[in-house]
Structure 1
Amino acid sequence: MIKFGLIGNPVEHSASADYFNKKFEQQGSEDRYELFQLSKIEELEQLLDEQPHLIGLNVTSPFKVKVINYLDTLDEEAEYIGAVNTIKIVNEDGIKTLKGYNTDVIGFAESIRPYTKGKSRALVLGTGGAAMAVVRAFDKLYIETTLVSRNPQKEDILSYEDLHNKDLAFYDFIVNATPVGMDKDKEECPQIDYSQINSSHICYDLIYNPEKTLFLEKAEKQGAKILNGIEMLYKQAEEAYLCWTK
């Protein structure tokens, strides 16, 4: 049996296992996809030792950047972004090599592409690995991005306090690329001025569980077009599968 899986913390919210296992069942395959919650990235080596049939992993928060130190090579996209969400594991003569990819870029780009005509600016909430993939995807779609962080480390990154002096009407897209609103934080949302959101905005949350986060609820009440991350998940999953099997 060939195995694939997801590492992260938490992972129980993920729809990846259902998606892939249904795919394998439809193919008549005995391959399996499992969820592996790690308390720290150092546990990856033990996981690989205990799971000799693993040939591919997805990576979710908070390990998309930290995992790079455990990989042998990176593809061009992952190296450019500095974040990995897909790992291909090759075992030859008892020696494992791990190559990192970033399929979040194509996943996000293909899910947002239908809405980009006539659009030029995006506000991206977050500065982690997922946010970097969003920025890269927008770059490829010729959309200018501005990042927002609770603790900006660079002059060109805004704080949430800075947003109080910004007109959100300046942006076509507002993307939540943080975990705020997921799982135990379902009653939370990014601290932006929702009264400035209107029907000209497209608000996208990378979170898909819950299906409609508080961020999306508030944006929808203001008339914005809303999207969650389920389409991105499916599109990046198919790209990840190609990385593992090609």
Structure 2
Amino acid sequence: MSRKQFGLVGKNISYSFSKKYFTERFQKDNTLDFTYENFDIQDIADFPKIIKNNPNLIGLNVTIPYKETVIPFLNGLSETAEKIGAVNVIKITKEGELIGHNSDNYGFKKALEPLLQPHHKKALILGTGGASKAVAFALEELGISSTFVSRKASERGINYEQINASTFDDYHIIINSTPLGTSPITDVFPAIPFEYFTTKHIAFDLIYNPAETQFLKKAKANGAIIKNGLEMLVNQAEKAWEIWNEF
């Protein structure tokens, strides 16, 4: 019998946390005869080839930049993934159906919750990709309102130029969901006025490599509580494992 297979779909993912995490998990437990592979594709149009060429696949993770564009290739979505509008976990059923799920919201919520204090009522989310949608969903579940920040203002958000001292007075959680600062290009950071961070603020970066991005360093220098994305990743990976093993 062929070994069951899991994997990660993304672009330029040689750094992958997921492959190392699940491979080590499988090695520690001798009862788990599984493999975990990286499926590095330059265009989401290549996604069907992954499914066709790997008949033993039973589960996939999805990362940047395909968390939204993978949806049309799936047979269905969980209620949560449908509400969020982004997928980072795919379960492949015995019948060969591809069902999209989202565990990012769970991972983020569990990582942020211990840091929260009564004054943490509003959050700024830097970036508008698939991960940011899961973050907004988790914040809503926690009773925290959020506003997106992108290069252009929209109905749901503001642009970077609009952030000022009064913004920081109003928003005490600032979340970086952009890839700015990810290894190997670690000297970049979102264009926000870091001087307005205080000890009342939480700066949360979804990036985990490096452990302390420029975004976190600059926020910490002004007294903010900081956290990187490692715990969120571990939480979402464990949730993904749970989803794959639901029958």
What's the counterpart of residue 120 of structure 1? 121
AA paired with 1:21?
A: T
Once the two structures are superposed, what CA deviation does each residue of 1:74-113 show, in whole Å capped at 9, x if it has no partner?
A: 0001100110000011243xxx210000000111011111
Query: What is the aligned-residue RMSD (CA, Å)?
Result: 1.3
AA paired with 1:134?
A: V
**1:155 Cα shift?**
2.5
What's the counterpart of residue 230 of structure 2? 230
**1:184 Cα shift?**
4.1
The CA distance in 1 between the partners of 2:182 and 2:137, in whole Å, is 23
AA paired with 2:88?
A: N
The CA distance in 2 between the partners of 1:231 and 1:147, in whole Å, is 23
What's the counterpart of residue 49 of structure 2? 46
Contact 2:150 2:158 in 1 (8 A): yes
Once the two structures are superposed, what CA deviation does each residue of 1:130-165 show, in whole Å capped at 9, x if it has no partner?
A: 00100000000001111101133x233100011147
Q: How does 1:79-118 map to 2 (within 5 A)?
A: 79-92=82-95, 96-118=96-118
The CA distance in 2 between the partners of 1:129 and 1:57, in whole Å, is 16
Gaps of 5+ in 2: none
AA paired with 1:224?
A: A
Once the two structures are superposed, what CA deviation does each residue of 1:29-79 show, in whole Å capped at 9, x if it has no partner?
A: 221111111100011111111111111000011000000010000000110
**1:238 Cα shift?**
0.8
Partner secondary structure for residue 62 of structure 1:
coil
The CA distance in 2 between the partners of 1:102 and 1:167, in whole Å, is 30
For structure 1, which segment, 13-22 or 205-214, has the greater mean C-alpha deviation from structure 2 after superposition? 13-22
The CA distance in 2 between the partners of 1:169 and 1:61, in whole Å, is 32
What's the counterpart of residue 163 of structure 2? 163
AA paired with 1:162?
A: Q
AA paired with 2:136?
A: V
The CA distance in 2 between the partners of 1:72 and 1:185, in whole Å, is 37
Partner secondary structure for residue 27 of structure 2:
helix
For structure 1, which segment, 43-52 or 55-64, has the greater mean C-alpha deviation from structure 2 after superposition? 43-52
**1:242 Cα shift?**
1.2
**1:216 Cα shift?**
0.7
Partner secondary structure for residue 61 of structure 2:
strand
Partner secondary structure for residue 93 of structure 2:
strand
What's the counterpart of residue 19 of structure 2? 17
The CA distance in 1 between the partners of 2:91 and 2:43, in whole Å, is 20
What's the counterpart of residue 220 of structure 1? 220
The CA distance in 1 between the partners of 2:152 and 2:55, in whole Å, is 40
Contact 2:111 2:232 in 1 (8 A): yes
Contact 1:107 1:233 in 2 (8 A): yes
Contact 1:169 1:197 in 2 (8 A): no
**1:167 Cα shift?**
3.1
**When the two structures are aligned, how many residues end up with a matched partner?**
242
AA paired with 2:232?
A: M
What's the counterpart of residue 245 of structure 2? 245
TM-score scaled by length of structure 1: 0.95
What's the counterpart of residue 148 of structure 1? 149
1:76 paired with 2:79, answer yes
What's the counterpart of residue 8 of structure 2? 6
TM-score scaled by length of structure 2: 0.94
Partner secondary structure for residue 97 of structure 2:
strand
- Specify whether residues 74 and 36 from structure 1 end up closer, same or farther in structure 2 by C-alpha distance, changes over 3 A only: same
Identity %: 41
